[in-house]
Amino acid sequence: MDASTTAVCRWVWVAPRDADDVAAALSVCAGAGVPVVPRGGGTSIAGQATGVGVVLDLTRHMNRLVSVDPAARTAVVQPGLVLDRLRDAVRPYGLTFGPDPSTHSRCTLGGMIGNNACGAHSVAWGTTADNVTELAVTAYGGTAHRISTGWSGAPAGLRDLITGHLGLLRTGMTPAGMPPGFSRRISGYGGLDALLPERGVQLARAFCGSEGTLGVVTEAVVRLVDAPRTPVLAVLGYADESAAADAAAGLLPYGPLTVEGMAEDLVGGGAPALPRGRAWLFVEMPDEGGARALVRAAEAVDATVVTDPAGQRALWRIREDAAGTATRMPGGGMAWPGWEDCAVPPVRLGAYLREFRALLAAHGLHGSPYGHFGEGCVHVRIDFDLVSAAGIARFRDFSGNWPISSSRTAAPCRASTGTGRRGRSCCRRCTGRRWSGSSAPTRTCGTRRAA
Ligand SMILES: Cc1cc2nc3c(=O)[nH]c(=O)nc-3n(C[C@H](O)[C@H](O)[C@H](O)COP(=O)(O)OP(=O)(O)OC[C@H]3O[C@@H](n4cnc5c(N)ncnc54)[C@H](O)[C@@H]3O)c2cc1C
């Protein structure tokens, strides 16, 4: 299992000590035709860390920070290194790693690369693909590749494959209605167009988001960013979540580090007081002047500016706990993960959420969207009945209708936590494409079995 609703029985669990062990395991598996699933912290929420066959646990031994170069602002990491260990180690240099999933205390750099993970700060610092410069990768069969920018290290045949499909890569990567260059297009192999010559043949970037299907990362060189010295948190209150979503895109020109949104149903008892309103945007700014200018421009119902770090931490806790809070409905029933990271262009998010709420209501379902409003990206946990036959039929009906019903605001992309098993059919509906054979985004290297 990972953190999704997917459970698949593995056959064997292997904890490699180094890249040679990874190569040996992949060679044996390829010889026997056995699927392989590399695994970091297992915090994926779409089933991408699950699969039959051999699970390679990269956290047990391959979990070191190899080196830090503060002047070059880079670090060399092993795949099983937990993100917070990296952030702790580079903090004394005034640096940090930009992408920061809510699972930062347990997710690994390898898993972040596998999922092309993002986080609250992606409006400022981008996704993991934006912050990886070089990867050591071992492919199914055991061949080692060092990939960065350019064709050096590419597997045999890849260059010809790309050269033969330039038109498709140029025009076919964007779902209908989505503007080209949409930052949260992370569905499936969403970054493959980074291999285009006009984009500099960014092999390491294109690998990010491949969810363990192209090879196993055994080492990565990652880019570090300046950590803001005195970030300030502006909390803006709005009438409801759609109003907050409508406002989010207009805040981007002020240079926020985060624009996170959520409504009152996700604020648990005992949380610090929030400004008036029934939904809020949590906007981190690099300094107090910027935060106050933003508040003046924001047209919020109410707002507060928090400068002290302890106060900010307490407020951020509300946002970080939202995923947990969202799993319980007010009446005590369960709401399920798996319907995560739907993204539309930020200017369309308010309209999209209104339509999404209407669709939930039409199916008698409930859920509380929250997430990265500045990127047009939301999570929602929904009170599906996954036990009774009627409940499962409703789940299927809702899941089948949702992207299509949302087409007026643009079919949403899966947008940060990965495609996984749960997202495959969604990608197919969004893009009109059917993944098949070796191009299917499954969680196995080189070979696959039915989900
Ligand atoms: C409450 C909650 C909140 C979350 N919030 C966010 C968020 O804000 N943003 C976000 O992006 N994600 C989020 N996630 C999803 C997940 O935590 C992140 O994507 C995280 O980076 C996954 O890291 P991991 O180490 O747990 O990877 P895993 O789940 O173990 O693996 C992720 C994928 O990477 C592959 N993989 C693992 N290691 C390697 C390797 N060495 N080489 C190649 N492939 C590999 C796996 O096969 C799998 O497909 C959230 C999850 C939860 C439960």
What backbone torsions phi and psi does residue 89 show, to the nearest 5 degrees? -70, -30
Residues 217, 265, single domain; the answer is no
> What DSSP letter does each residue of 169-197 carry, written as one string?
HHHSSS-TTPPTT-TT--SSSTTGGGGSG
Nearest 10 degrees: Cα torsion 354, 359, 362, 366: -80
Centroid of ligand 1 to alpha carbon of 412 (angstroms): 20
Token representation of residue 108: 């690994």
Could you tell me if residue 156 is inside a domain?
yes
Could you tell me if residue 3 is inside a domain?
no
**CA–CA gap between residue 232 and residue 252 (Å, rounded):** 16
**CA–CA gap between residue 427 and residue 362 (Å, rounded):** 23
Say yes or no: CB of residue 4 within 6 Å of ligand 1. Answer: no
Ligand 1 atom showing the smallest separation from residue 214 Cα: 43
Residues 319, 407, single domain; the answer is yes
Centroid of ligand 1 to alpha carbon of 417 (angstroms): 7
Q: Looking at 191, 226, 261, which one is the last position of a domain?
A: 226
Centroid of ligand 1 to alpha carbon of 340 (angstroms): 13
Query: Which residue stretches of the chain have pLDDT < 70?
Result: 1-10, 174-185, 187-188, 268-270, 323, 326, 330, 338-339, 401-451
Q: CB of 284 within 8 A of CB of 256?
A: yes
Report which protein residue has its CA nearest ligand 1's atom 14.
Answer: 417
Residues 213, 241, single domain; the answer is no
Say yes or no: CB of residue 45 within 6 Å of ligand 1. Answer: yes
Say yes or no: CB of residue 118 within 6 Å of ligand 1. Answer: yes
Say yes or no: CB of residue 38 within 6 Å of ligand 1. Answer: yes
Q: CB of 379 within 8 A of CB of 413?
A: no
Say yes or no: CB of residue 211 within 6 Å of ligand 1. Answer: yes
The size of the chain, in residues, is 451
Residues 243, 131, single domain; the answer is no
Ligand 1 atom showing the smallest separation from residue 44 Cα: 29
Amino acid code (one letter) for 437: G
For a pocket test of ligand 1, which of 113, 185, 417 has the largest count of ligand atoms closer than 8 A to its C-beta? Answer: 417
Residues 128, 252, single domain; the answer is no
Q: CB of 384 within 8 A of CB of 353?
A: no
Residues 386, 243, single domain; the answer is yes
Position 336 scores a pLDDT of 82
**CA–CA gap between residue 147 and residue 132 (Å, rounded):** 11
Alpha-helical (H) ranges within 281-363 are 288-297, 309-325, 349-362
Is 37 strand, coil or helix? strand
Could you tell me if residue 20 is inside a domain?
no
Position 125 scores a pLDDT of 95
Position 438 scores a pLDDT of 28
Say yes or no: CB of residue 216 within 6 Å of ligand 1. Answer: yes
Among residues 72, 242, 83, 222, which one has the least CA distance to residue 148? Answer: 222
Ligand 1 atom showing the smallest separation from residue 114 Cα: 34
Distance between start and end Cα atoms, the chain: 13
**Longest Cα pair distance anywhere in the chain, in angstroms?**
64
Token representation of residue 447: 């070979």
Residues 254, 215, single domain; the answer is no
Residue 400: its H or E element: helix 389-405
Q: Looking at 226, 255, 275, which one is the last position of a domain?
A: 226
Number of separate domains in the chain: 2
Centroid of ligand 1 to alpha carbon of 73 (angstroms): 24
Q: Looking at 168, 192, 226, which one is the last position of a domain?
A: 226
**CA–CA gap between residue 28 and residue 34 (Å, rounded):** 8
Centroid of ligand 1 to alpha carbon of 44 (angstroms): 4
For a pocket test of ligand 1, which of 5, 52, 61, 107 has the largest count of ligand atoms closer than 8 A to its C-beta? Answer: 107
Position 420 scores a pLDDT of 52
- Domain that includes residue 179, residue range: 69-226
Centroid of ligand 1 to alpha carbon of 320 (angstroms): 16
Could you tell me if residue 5 is inside a domain?
no
pTM: 0.85
Position 435 scores a pLDDT of 32
Residues 207, 267, single domain; the answer is no
Say yes or no: CB of residue 217 within 6 Å of ligand 1. Answer: yes
Spell out the long-range contacts of 199-205 with Cβ–Cβ below 8 A and sequence spacing 24 or more.
200/149, 200/150, 201/149, 201/150, 201/151, 202/149, 203/147, 203/148, 203/149, 203/150, 203/151, 203/153, 203/154, 204/132, 204/133, 204/134, 204/135, 204/147, 204/148, 204/149, 205/129, 205/130, 205/132
Q: CB of 255 within 8 A of CB of 313?
A: no
Ligand 1 atom showing the smallest separation from residue 371 Cα: 8
Ligand 1 atom showing the smallest separation from residue 80 Cα: 41
The DSSP call for residue 254 is: G
Residues 186, 287, single domain; the answer is no
Residues 191, 322, single domain; the answer is no
Could you tell me if residue 52 is inside a domain?
no
CATH label of the domain that carries residue 425: 3.40.462.10
Could you tell me if residue 446 is inside a domain?
no
Say yes or no: CB of residue 213 within 6 Å of ligand 1. Answer: no
Residues 204, 239, single domain; the answer is no
Ligand 1 atom showing the smallest separation from residue 48 Cα: 49
Position 322 scores a pLDDT of 73
Could you tell me if residue 245 is inside a domain?
yes
Residues 215, 249, single domain; the answer is no
**CA–CA gap between residue 235 and residue 244 (Å, rounded):** 11
CATH label of the domain that carries residue 174: 3.30.465.10
Q: CB of 18 within 8 A of CB of 60?
A: no
Centroid of ligand 1 to alpha carbon of 55 (angstroms): 15
Could you tell me if residue 121 is inside a domain?
yes
Strand pairing report for 258-263 and 216-223? unpaired
